[in-house]
C-alpha cells in the first residue's frame, strides 16, 4: 500500500569508524540541515546537493520517526495503530497516514492520550443515522488516492483527486481476515475523533456470505455454500463483528448488509444453480445477523436491494416485498433500518430521457429515484415497518456507455456522483442519505479471460479494459470518474 525503498549503496558499506555523524563511517557526509527523507537501522538520512548525508550523531530516531522516510509525517496526537505493515504501525491524523514511534510518543514529545481513549456510554440512534454526525474518512482509501495522485501529472486532475480525500466512503469487510484487520481499528480511530457532542459515523459493508455473489464470478467470496462454511460465517465473522460493536457502543455505526444477496434470491434461484444451492444459507445467515446485530441500539442496518435495472420491474418488486419481509421477520427481535440501492452500480439517480418502453424492456423504474419511490410503496404495502433508503452515488454521476442498463463491470463513461449527505432530496423523507459505498477506483473485476474469476460482463464492449481483479486499484477508471464527476469536483 505504501511505497518503500532501500539504499542499496548504504547497505553494502560495512565501514565502522568513529565520526562526527554516523554516516561518515559509511562513506557519506553529515547533513547541514535536519530534513529527514529516509531512516534505516543506521540512522536518519537526508539529501543535499543530490547526495545522501547523515543527520545526527547516533542511530536513534529521536528527532523524527521512521515514516518520514516514506513521505509521511510522525503522529503527534495519536498512538492508536489503524494499520500495521512491514514498515511499522500507522495512525491517522487529519485524514492522513502518520507513523507511530514504538515505545510511546510518535514525535518525541509527551505521550498522546489518544491511546487511552475508551468507549463511553451507550449511544442510541434515533431517526436517520446519517443526520447530525461527522462522517468518518476511510484512511485506507485516502492512501489509495495518494497512490493514484503519485501517478498523475495533470495539475487539474491532481486537484480533483485531492478533493476525493475530503469525502467519506464505506469500509468493506469482505473476508474474515479483512474484518479482523479493519473493523476494530477503524472503530477505534473514529472513537478517537469524537469530541463533545459530535458523533463520528462509520459505515461498514458486511460482505462474506457462504456462496457469495452466486450469479457472478468476479466477486465470489472465500466461503462456500455448505454447512461448514456457514458455521464459520457465524462464529468467525458475525460473532466477532457483534463483539467489537458491543465494545464500541458510544458511537454510531451503519452496516450495509451483503450486497447482491437477497436480490439474487428474488431473480436468480430458478435460472442459476449456484443461487439455488445458496438459498438456505443466504436466508439463514440473514436471520442470524439480524438477530445478533439488529438489537444493538447504536447500529443501523440497510439490506441491499440491487438497483433499478435489477428489481425495478413490477413483478420483481412484488416478489422482493415478500423475500425481504420474510428475511426481516426471521431476524426478530433484531431490526433493520432500511435498504441500500445501487451499491457498486452505475444507474443514474435521475434519467429523464428514459421511460417505460422497449428501450428499457418495459421497466417502469428506469432510474434510481423512480425505483426507490416505487420500492417505498411496495415495501410498505408488504408490511415492512421501517422503510428507509440510502443511495450509492459513488459512480452514477454520468451516464455510462453501457448498451444495456444491467451492465455492471468497470463501465466506461463513469463519473463520480452526488457527495455523501443526509436527507438529500426534499420531499423524500424516507431517503436517509446519498453515500459513497463503492470506492471509485477499485475494480469490479478483471478483463483477463484466462483468469479464474473472469466474468463475461467484464469482457463486454462497454467495460473498460485492461482491468485488474475485483478490488484492486484501477487507475484509468478512477481518472475517468474524476473527469466526469457530476456535480464537478
408 is known to lie in a ligand binding site? yes
172 is known to lie in a ligand binding site? yes
Opening angle at CA 411, ends 410 and 415, nearest 5: 105
CATH 3.20.20.40 spans which residues of the chain? 133-484
Beta-strand runs (E) in 68-117? 83-84, 89-93, 96-100
Q: Give the pLDDT of residue 241.
A: 98
Q: Give the pLDDT of residue 42.
A: 67
Distance between terminal CA atoms of the chain? 25
Q: Give the pLDDT of residue 86.
A: 72
Catalytic residue among 229, 260, 304, 351: 260
128 is known to lie in a ligand binding site? no
185 is known to lie in a ligand binding site? no
Whole-angstrom Cα distance, residue 180 to residue 312? 36
pLDDT tens per residue across span 339-386: 999 999 999 999 998 888 888 889 999 999 999 999 999 999 999 999
The reported pTM is 0.79
Quick one: average pLDDT of 448-476? 92
Whole-angstrom Cα distance, residue 436 to residue 422? 12
438 is known to lie in a ligand binding site? yes
C-alpha cell, 217: 464470478
404 is known to lie in a ligand binding site? no
CATH 3.90.1220.10 spans which residues of the chain? 22-54
pLDDT at 108 over 70: no
Whole-angstrom Cα distance, residue 9 to residue 112? 37
User: Is there a contact between 112 and 106 (Cβ–Cβ < 8 Å)?
Assistant: yes
Catalytic residue among 89, 208, 444, 455: 444
Q: Give the pLDDT of residue 402.
A: 75
Quick one: average pLDDT of 66-77? 76
Using the structure block, give the residue that is written with the C-alpha cell 491511546.
115
345 is known to lie in a ligand binding site? yes
Q: Lowest mean pLDDT of 71-85, 266-280, 319-333, name the range.
A: 71-85
Q: Give the pLDDT of residue 36.
A: 66
User: Is there a contact between 191 and 458 (Cβ–Cβ < 8 Å)?
Assistant: no
pLDDT at 3 over 60: no
Look up 448 and say whether it is catalytic: no
Beta-strand runs (E) in 162-280? 171-173, 200-206, 253-257
pLDDT at 127 over 60: yes
Look up 315 and say whether it is catalytic: no
Query: Could you write out the DSSP letters of every residue in 214-228?
Result: TT-STT--SS-SSHH
Q: In 3D, which of 439, 441, 438 has the Cα closest to residue 477?
A: 441
- Residue 242: Cβ within 10 Å count: 17
Q: Which fold has domain 22-54?
A: Endoglucanase; Chain: A (3.90.1220)
Q: Give the pLDDT of residue 105.
A: 38
- Residue 425: Cβ within 10 Å count: 16
pLDDT > 70: what percent of the chain? 85
- Within 13 Å and on the Cβ side, how many CA atoms surround 209? 28
pLDDT tens per residue across span 219-230: 778 999 999 999
Q: Give the pLDDT of residue 39.
A: 64
pLDDT at 405 over 90: no
Quick one: average pLDDT of 77-86? 71
Q: Give the pLDDT of residue 51.
A: 65
Q: H or E element: which one contains 370?
A: helix 368-381
Domain 133-484's class? alpha beta
42 is known to lie in a ligand binding site? no
Confidence of residue 390 (pLDDT cuts 50, 70, 90): very high
Amino acid at each position: 500500500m505504501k511505497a518503500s525503498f532501500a539504499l542499496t549503496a548504504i547497505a553494502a558499506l560495512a565501514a565502522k569508524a568513529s565520526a562526527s555523524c554516523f554516516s561518515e563511517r559509511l562513506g557519506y557526509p553529515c547533513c547541514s540541515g535536519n530534513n529527514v527523507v529516509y531512516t534505516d537501522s543506521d540512522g536518519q538520512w537526508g539529501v543535499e546537493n543530490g547526495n545522501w548525508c547523515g543527520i545526527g550523531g547516533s542511530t536513534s530516531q529521536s528527532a523524527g520517526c521512521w515514516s518520514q522516510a516514506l513521505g509521511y509525517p510522525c503522529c503527534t496526537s495519536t498512538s492508536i495503530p489503524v494499520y500495521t505493515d512491514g514498515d511499522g504501525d500507522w495512525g491517522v491524523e487529519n485524514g492522513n497516514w502518520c507513523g507511530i514511534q514504538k515505545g510511546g510518543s510518535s514525535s518525541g514529545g509527551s505521550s498522546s492520550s489518544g491511546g487511552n481513549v475508551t468507549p463511553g456510554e451507550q449511544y442510541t440512534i434515533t431517526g436517520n443515522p446519517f443526520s447530525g454526525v461527522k462522517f468518518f474518512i476511510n484512511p485506507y482509501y485516502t492512501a489509495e488516492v495518494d497512490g493514484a495522485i503519485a501517478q498523475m501529472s495533470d495539475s487539474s486532475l491532481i486537484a480533483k483527486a485531492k478533493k476525493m480525500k475530503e469525502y467519506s466512503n464505506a469500509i468493506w469487510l469482505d473476508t474474515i481476515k479483512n474484518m479482523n484487520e479493519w473493523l476494530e481499528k477503524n472503530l477505534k480511530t473514529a472513537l478517537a475523533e469524537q469530541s463533545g457532542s459530535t458523533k463520528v459515523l462509520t459505515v461498514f459493508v458486511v460482505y462474506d456470505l457462504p456462496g457469495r455473489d452466486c450469479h457472478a464470478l468476479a466477486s465470489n467470496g472465500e466461503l462456500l455454500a455448505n454447512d461448514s462454511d456457514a458455521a464459520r460465517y457465524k462464529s468467525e465473522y458475525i460473532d466477532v463483528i457483534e463483539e467489537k460493536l458491543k465494545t464500541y457502543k458510544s458511537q454510531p455505526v451503519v452496516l450495509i448488509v451483503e450486497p447482491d444477496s437477497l436480490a439474487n434470491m428474488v431473480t436468480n434461484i430458478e435460472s442459476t444453480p449456484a443461487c439455488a444451492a445458496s438459498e438456505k444459507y443466504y436466508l439463514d445467515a440473514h436471520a442470524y445477523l439480524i438477530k445478533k446485530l439488529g438489537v444493538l441500539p447504536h447500529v443501523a442496518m440497510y439490506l441491499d436491494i440491487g438497483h433499478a435495472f435489477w428489481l425495478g420491474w413490477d413483478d420483481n418488486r412484488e416478489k422482493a416485498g415478500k423475500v425481504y419481509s420474510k428475511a426481516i421477520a426471521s431476524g426478530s427481535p433484531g431490526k433493520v433500518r432500511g435498504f441500500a440501492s445501487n451499491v457498486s452500480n452505475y444507474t443514474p439517480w435521475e434519467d429523464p430521457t428514459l421511460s417505460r418502453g422497449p428501450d428499457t424492456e418495459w421497466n417502469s423504474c428506469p432510474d434510481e429515484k423512480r425505483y426507490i419511490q416505487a420500492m417505498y410503496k411496495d415495501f410498505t404495502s408488504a408490511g415492512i415497518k421501517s422503510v428507509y433508503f440510502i443511495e450509492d452515488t459513488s459512480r452514477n454521476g454520468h451516464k455510462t456507455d453501457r448498451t444495456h442498463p444491467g451492465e455492471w463491470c468497470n463501465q466506461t463513461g463513469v463519473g463520480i456522483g452526488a457527495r455523501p449527505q443526509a436527507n438529500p432530496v426534499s420531499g423524500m423523507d424516507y431517503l436517509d442519505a446519498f453515500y459513497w459505498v463503492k470506492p471509485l477506483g477499485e475494480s469490479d473485476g478483471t478483463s483477463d479471460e484466462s483468469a479464474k474469476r473472469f466474468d463475461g460482463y467484464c469482457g463486454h464492449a462497454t467495460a473498460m479494459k485492461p482491468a485488474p481483479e475485483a478490488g484492486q486499484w484501477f487507475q484509468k477508471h478512477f481518472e475517468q470518474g474524476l473527469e466526469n464527476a457530476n456535480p464537478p469536483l
